Structure 1
Amino acid sequence: MNASRLPFWLIAPLALLAFAGNSLLARAVLLDSGNSPGAFAAVRLVSGAILLAGLGAVRGFAILPHRRDAPTVIALLVYALGFALAYVSIGAASGALILFAAVQATIIGMGLWRGDRIRPIQAIGLALAFSGLCWLLFPGLTAPPVYAALLMGCAGIAWGVYSTVNSGDGAPVARTARNFTGAAVLGLVALAVLPFGLTPMGWALAIVSGSTTSALGYVLWYALLPQITRLTAATLQLLVPAITALGASALLGEAIGLRLAGASILILSGIALTIRR
């Protein structure tokens, strides 16, 4: 599979649908109390690792992690576990919004730590995004549980670290395979202390999430990145919570209420301002 030869108009929608699909699949699985989040995360990582190992065999790159891969392996594991644990109690749309807000905040924060300067328009954007997040999480009947939001926030921070550290790799698909292999092994070890339980449908959706919307989705995303600027990539990611909300409404019966719609507008508008050149 040489995704880099596919046109932009095909890669971009497929990658964004894959990212949104991860949230929809996770929430669909974890709505059933017969499915445990640790099992979902482990099967997702293992199935992704198996698919990427096959891709590695065809394309001739190694899949065993190197020592330098340790930060991204750990970040991928933290992301996968936090993501699954959060979706036990949080809606797909709210979870995706918090996830990608945390991802962008982490990337911006790491840029500031490395010496980037924040301009007035970016400061306004950060204030807007923060106010939207506060509105979304403010106690009330439609607010997501705080612990679930914190777990999703941790998952977003981990994914932001993973994306930033991995962004300069000259062979991102090969490194993705190594990261999945390492995270899958650690995920299986984590199951020694986490409950394991998956229904037949849970198994099927976890495998689809790992092999298709995760592994292949990341391959498509990394094939897309050389074709676009970093600003365009960040802007495209803002579409994911909107796609997730529409999918959650159509497939999972989630209501798009005033709080979610208003908070989404504030958060996404704020992030859009922070990534303007």
Structure 2
Amino acid sequence: MNTRTLLLTALAMLTFAGNSLLCRLALRETAIDAASFTSLRLLAGALTLWLLLRMRTASRGNAGSWPAAAALFAYAAAFSFAYINLDAGAGALILFGAVQLSMLAWGLHRGERLNLMGCSGLLLAFAGLLVLLLPGASRPPAGPALLMIVAGVAWTVYSLLGRGVKDPLAATAGNFLRAVPMTLGLSALFITQASLDVPGLVYALLSGALTSGVGYAIWYSALRGLQSFQAACVQLSVPIIAALAGSLLLNESLTLRLLLSAAAVLGGIALVLSAQQRRI
């Protein structure tokens, strides 16, 4: 991995963790509601990606698809509503745990098989999520946790639909643009609960333009220099970054349950990825 790829990858992981922090900060510290945050995030992301495309000498205006846009919208909406009552670290762990586990489930459905190391890692990862979600004083609320799992599955669907696209940036811009009417419909549905203030507006726009729009563009640039195994592994750093940043910036507690769960989930998924890499 060259220096440029390493720098782009590090920046992308910071933007992914930043999405969790900005969403949690907005919904905890400002008056903005989840539906408005989702709409502003997707609108800002769509505008930013459109501007990035306009800066290029050539672009594909018809890129993207409605199914991918629906998956993107489902992810963004579930993500926002989940973070009303989830800490940044716990939310990121559930999200990326669900993403990786649903990716593995899809692979198994398609006929991929795991060896003993892979099976052990899969069981360890499931056990880690179970530790986090079992009843207890420090357990995340069940409803928001379930919504974050939905967000993770939706992101997996979005990622699978985007495999093999010729122009990832154009496809992402097209998907964001198609998601705009969906998210405006969501805001209309929750219009009686709509609430907005300047800090909430700023956090939503930063989340959409910077940590979503620019962040996705950086990630796609980094992917050119990463093997698929490396790309999967580096994303496991996001829950750790989010948990540490949440503790430092949002005064969220790093509970023993969260630390044990993170170690089990991330360690288990790393075992699965290592097992797959050895078979390549």
Alignment TM class, shorter chain as reference: over 0.9
CA distance in 1: counterparts of 2:105 and 2:164, whole angstroms: 17
Matched, 1:150 2:146: yes
Of 5-14 and 240-249, more deviation after overlay is shown by 5-14
Q: Which amino acid is 2:43 matched to?
A: V
Contact 2:9 2:219 in 1 (8 A): yes
Give the Å deviation of 1:33.
6.4
Q: Partner residue of 1:113?
A: 109
CA distance in 2: counterparts of 1:160 and 1:79, whole angstroms: 9
Of 22-31 and 184-193, more deviation after overlay is shown by 184-193
Matched, 1:141 2:137: yes
Q: Partner residue of 1:36?
A: 33
CA distance in 2: counterparts of 1:76 and 1:189, whole angstroms: 15
TM-score when scaled to structure 2?
Answer: 0.93
CA distance in 2: counterparts of 1:274 and 1:259, whole angstroms: 22
Q: Partner residue of 1:212?
A: 210
| Cα root mean square deviation, aligned | 1.5
Give the alignment partner of residue 79 of structure 1, picking from 75, 80, 96. Answer: 75
Contact 1:64 1:181 in 2 (8 A): no
SS for the counterpart of 2:189 is: coil
Of 73-82 and 115-124, more deviation after overlay is shown by 115-124
Give the Å deviation of 1:259.
0.5
SS for the counterpart of 2:78 is: helix
How many matched pairs? 271
CA distance in 2: counterparts of 1:63 and 1:100, whole angstroms: 31
Q: Which amino acid is 1:252 matched to?
A: L
Give the Å deviation of 1:56.
1.8
CA distance in 2: counterparts of 1:207 and 1:28, whole angstroms: 13
Q: Partner residue of 1:183?
A: 179
Per-residue displacement from partner, 1:16-51 (whole Å, max 9, x unpaired)?
Answer: 000000000000001146221010010000000011
CA distance in 2: counterparts of 1:70 and 1:49, whole angstroms: 14
Contact 2:30 2:199 in 1 (8 A): no
CA distance in 1: counterparts of 2:22 and 2:5, whole angstroms: 25
Give the Å deviation of 1:63.
4.4
TM-score when scaled to structure 1?
Answer: 0.94
SS for the counterpart of 2:188 is: coil
Q: Partner residue of 2:198?
A: 200
Q: Which amino acid is 2:221 matched to?
A: A
Matched, 1:50 2:47: yes
Deviant stretches of 4+, over 3 Å: 62-66
Matched, 1:96 2:105: no
Contact 1:64 1:178 in 2 (8 A): yes
Of 188-197 and 99-108, more deviation after overlay is shown by 188-197
Call closer, same or farther: CA 1:115–1:129 in 2, change over 3 Å.
Answer: same
Contact 2:24 2:88 in 1 (8 A): yes
Q: Which amino acid is 2:194 matched to?
A: F
Give the Å deviation of 1:175.
0.2
CA distance in 2: counterparts of 1:122 and 1:55, whole angstroms: 40
Per-residue displacement from partner, 1:79-120 (whole Å, max 9, x unpaired)?
Answer: 000000000011000000000001101111111222211222
Give the Å deviation of 1:202.
0.4
* Identical-residue share of aligned pairs (%): 41
CA distance in 1: counterparts of 2:237 and 2:123, whole angstroms: 20
Give the alignment partner of residue 228 of structure 2, picking from 227, 230, 241. Answer: 230
Q: Which amino acid is 2:33 matched to?
A: S
